[in-house]
Structure 1
Amino acid sequence: MTSTKNAPTLLDEVRAFRLHHPDVRYVDLLSLDIPGHFYGKRYPIDMLEKVAAGSPLKLPQNCVLLGAQGGLFPIGDYCFNDGDPDAQRRLVPGTLKPVTWEREPLGQMLITSDGTAAPIEFEPREVLARVLQRLERRGIRPVVAFELEFYLFDRALKDGLPQFPRDPFSQDEDDQPNMHIERLSRFSDVLHDMVSSANAQGVDANVITAELGPGQFEINFGHCEDGLRAADWAALFCRSTRGVALKHGLRASFMSKPYLQAPGSGMHVHVSLYDQAGNNLLAADQQRPLRHAVAGCLALLPHCMPIFAANHNAFRRYGAMVNAASRASWGFEDRDACIRIPESSPHNLRIEHRLAGADANPYLVLAAILCGMEHGLDAAQEPIAPLNDDRTSGIDFPKDMPAAVAAMREHPAVNEGLGEEFVMVYCENKRQDHLAFMHEVSAREYRWFL
């Protein structure tokens, strides 16, 4: 983004926020870790003004490495052999916004190591920033739009298990999977508050859909010319949506597969590629670059599964019920495909990458998709047959975390595209998380084997 002489500074942003929100005393400074959780600190707003004016902002580097449950794993020399050093962070301009779902007035702002003197190589936002910078040097500008599916649940768990949300009007369980518009009306209070709260964060959330699962919905975001900002929107929406649901006496979850008998929740990502003159690169030469980009995505997809399926539960989506692919595939207007090509004008021609679970890390998902597209443009190979021509067309991908990590760890194009240090750290984080998850005797094991 090109700065101008009259562009507002961070200090201007903080002072304007204080002027418009004089009752806010604290601001949460947030960043996304590898599993996709926010970590950070709550700053008094007068101290935030000092940071905006140039005071250093540091947090432990290893916050980024936390496992799904917040624990630290020995990964290379990190965590237990490095003295747990601090690393510089910076405020992300334009992200200081009011929080609307807390009881007390509060603000929040994104922070990151990208753009600092010593970025953290494995920080998700920094990984995506490096990919975008590489594409920019090649004159390629992605335009991105996320779609996120999620479930609403009753706030109270029953025997540790989720319950269907209560219809606000009848107080009956909303246990009817359908796409009826009436469900949007019944849950309009919480859904509209979710969109309004996201909009207050600067997130262009717009279209709401009642999905197939009981209490399942989808929110679409506007197309964004800044890939980092598009991923910021997805991350911030997850945070605000969970908060708004609790405010309304419900739970919201982006868990990939909360019910075995109902559809899972996905993260769909629309990506177009433009040159500096605004021409859609995918539409050139009778759409040959589109097909090359598809081929690249399909080639790297089996080696990026720990990113697309970020936990044990996420693998349950694949091959189950509707619109959940079991092989890497593509097709025109085909929702059974991992990569769908929506019908559009040449200027809006794009891929829709549909494989990732809704609880995946949006920065890393977008980085992996862009690496696949870049790989395909460089290799200039035609893809396998689309599902429109051959319903059996597809490429196998790993269906569990250990196999997925093994497929990702040593793949040269993935290491080159995302960074060797990141790939090492990420794969070991996922391997250790999987071992920790399996290190418990479940009630089912006692029922089967005791």
Structure 2
Amino acid sequence: MKSPSATLLAEVRTFRQNHPEVRYVDLIALDIPGHFYGKRYPVEMLEKVAAGSPLKLPQNAVLLGAQGGLFKIGDYCFNDGDPDANRRLVPGTLKPVSWESQPLGQMLITSDGTEAPIEFEPREVLAKVLERLHHKGIHPVVAFELEFYLFDKKLDNGLPQFARDPLSDEADDQPTLHIERLSRFSDVLDDMAQTSKAQGIDITVITAEIGPGQFEINFGHCDDGLRAADWAALFCRSTRGVALKHGYRASFMAKPYLQFPGSGMHVHVSLYDGAGNNVLAAHQQQPLRHAVAGCLALLPHCMPIFSPNHNAFRRLGGTVNAATRASWGFEDRDACVRIPESDPRNLRIEHRLASADANPYLVLAAILAGLEHGLETRQEPIAPLNEDRSSGTDFPVDMLDAVRAMQHQSVVRDKLGAEFVDVYCENKRQDHLAFQQEISAREYRWFL
């Protein structure tokens, strides 16, 4: 077998042969708010990194706020000397970028798998959860679904405008869930699909959703949780780029319109043992019930992950299929945890609470932690919505309350890492307080 460096070096050299026009490659990773940071490397220097030369970036780049600034979090950022930390290249992710004006490549980087991984890096948090499950003989299979809106490229006094129908040049007015909308926006949607596939992302079904200019993309089921989250992260980046190329804005903002449905991140998870048997389907599906109970127990304590910003909380209890309480049900889209109809081999949960702009690595880590907790404690869940429409437990609907509920919860700290929880909660608290430091026009109208 080839060594990791030999495999990476072969990947870089093959890329250079196939894309001689590319002179630079963006090395990128996802920070806590779910934005990409990184460096643009000359492709010849990338060969040296692939061969084993150090790849270092500031450790605190992971801690950037939603607007890119740094907050004082413990000794990080201002009392630690802003140290560098090692990163590594993620094999199989070096791909051409087709939406930029100049030839470019991109490749994921991460600290997981390095000698000293960053404990609060999102990909490392998920990697630790997956490693723990694998040691227990549990192997997740994961599929993400992402909703997003297309807007006109130009804003109206900072506000989004409906996407213009390419045939009529009017604002998109197709009926909800209408297949005709897919046809009318086929040029940009097809480019998004083809670009995603060129990035190695397994996308499947495209749906016109309920909101004007709203769509949903489904990804294939993947037996590598890290890769599944990589796909979701990379899809957001490429989709925004392709949309701009076609004269649109693509946004994964959780609730861009108060009067229309928000955009969610739905995550399907099934669990298998080493022999390929579905763990959730054993013993008359009793493990499924335990797993659901664990998810619901941790859900109120993971709300800063599922709703990572002020706007995301607006989506909860919205117009369609957005839960207001931690609940579950069979074939019920009003539930946070839905059990889709399937045969025993494909029995799974669908976690529907996270907003589309949540960090996919952290969302999946939180879901798996809940499943693991349920299988360990073997508690019975509350009644499903199919039996009791009022069933459910409350969860925080405000960021500061959510942070308080997360920070000192012992199971969450154990499953996701105490250092991560402390850093993440303080990052969210500071981001929320920074967001409040602006007086809106409405505030003047009401109180001046």
TM-score class, shorter: over 0.9
Match of 1:349 among 329, 347, 350: 347
Q: Matches of 1:6 and 1:297 in 2, distance apart? A: 39
Gaps of 5+ in 1: none
Is the contact between residue 90 and residue 112 of structure 1 (CA under 8 Å) also seen in structure 2?
yes
Are 2:318 and 1:320 equivalent residues in the alignment?
yes
Is the contact between residue 93 and residue 199 of structure 2 (CA under 8 Å) also seen in structure 1?
yes
Provide, for residues 296-315 of structure 1, a one-character-per-residue CA deviation record: whole Å limited to 9, x for no partner: 00000000000000000000
Matches within 5 A, 1:250-329: 250-329=248-327
Matches within 5 A, 1:401-416: 401-416=399-414
Is the contact between residue 88 and residue 116 of structure 1 (CA under 8 Å) also seen in structure 2?
yes
Q: Matches of 1:6 and 1:42 in 2, distance apart? A: 25
What TM-score do the two structures reach when normalised by structure 1? 0.99
Q: Matches of 1:219 and 1:128 in 2, distance apart? A: 23
Is the contact between residue 302 and residue 398 of structure 1 (CA under 8 Å) also seen in structure 2?
yes
What letter is aligned with 1:374? E
What letter is aligned with 1:211? E
Tell me what 1:41 maps to. Answer: 39
TM-fit CA distance, 1:6: 8.4
Tell me what 1:228 maps to. Answer: 226
What's the secondary structure of 2:297's corresponding residue? helix
Match of 2:192 among 191, 194, 211: 194
Tell me what 1:95 maps to. Answer: 93
Are 2:116 and 1:114 equivalent residues in the alignment?
no
Matches within 5 A, 1:148-227: 148-176=146-174, 178-227=176-225
TM-fit CA distance, 1:5: 4.5
What's the secondary structure of 1:405's corresponding residue? helix
What letter is aligned with 1:157? L
Is the contact between residue 339 and residue 351 of structure 1 (CA under 8 Å) also seen in structure 2?
yes
Is the contact between residue 174 and residue 181 of structure 2 (CA under 8 Å) also seen in structure 1?
no
What letter is aligned with 1:171? D
Q: Matches of 2:139 and 2:292 in 1, distance apart? A: 17
What letter is aligned with 2:421? V
Is the contact between residue 305 and residue 397 of structure 1 (CA under 8 Å) also seen in structure 2?
yes
What letter is aligned with 1:420? A
Is the contact between residue 177 and residue 211 of structure 1 (CA under 8 Å) also seen in structure 2?
no
Moved more, 244-253 or 169-178: 169-178
Q: Matches of 1:62 and 1:329 in 2, distance apart? A: 37
Is the contact between residue 294 and residue 330 of structure 1 (CA under 8 Å) also seen in structure 2?
yes
What letter is aligned with 1:65? L
Match of 1:377 among 369, 375, 378: 375
Q: Matches of 1:204 and 1:381 in 2, distance apart? A: 36
Q: Matches of 1:181 and 1:397 in 2, distance apart? A: 36
TM-fit CA distance, 1:175: 3.7
Q: Matches of 1:299 and 1:177 in 2, distance apart? A: 38
What letter is aligned with 2:440? S
What letter is aligned with 2:222? C
Q: Matches of 2:45 and 2:398 in 1, distance apart? A: 46
Is the contact between residue 177 and residue 213 of structure 1 (CA under 8 Å) also seen in structure 2?
no
Q: Matches of 1:447 and 1:156 in 2, distance apart? A: 27
What's the secondary structure of 1:146's corresponding residue? strand
What letter is aligned with 1:158? D
What letter is aligned with 2:84? D
TM-fit CA distance, 1:240: 0.2
Q: Matches of 1:24 and 1:345 in 2, distance apart? A: 47
Q: Matches of 1:159 and 1:447 in 2, distance apart? A: 18
Tell me what 1:388 maps to. Answer: 386
Tell me what 1:237 maps to. Answer: 235
Matched pairs, number: 447
Tell me what 2:134 maps to. Answer: 136
What's the secondary structure of 1:407's corresponding residue? helix
Matches within 5 A, 1:419-438: 419-438=417-436
Are 2:28 and 1:22 equivalent residues in the alignment?
no
Q: Matches of 2:85 and 2:279 in 1, distance apart? A: 38
TM-fit CA distance, 1:177: 5.1
Is the contact between residue 177 and residue 215 of structure 1 (CA under 8 Å) also seen in structure 2?
no
Moved more, 352-361 or 169-178: 169-178
What letter is aligned with 2:377? A
Tell me what 2:71 maps to. Answer: 73
TM-fit CA distance, 1:103: 1.2
Moved more, 101-110 or 232-241: 101-110
Are 2:90 and 1:53 equivalent residues in the alignment?
no
Provide, for residues 328-356 of structure 1, a one-character-per-residue CA deviation record: whole Å limited to 9, x for no partner: 00000000000000000100000000000
TM-fit CA distance, 1:206: 1.6
Q: What root-mean-square deviation, in Å, do the aligned CA atoms of Structure 1 and Structure 2 show?
A: 0.8
Q: Matches of 1:201 and 1:102 in 2, distance apart? A: 14
What's the secondary structure of 1:9's corresponding residue? helix
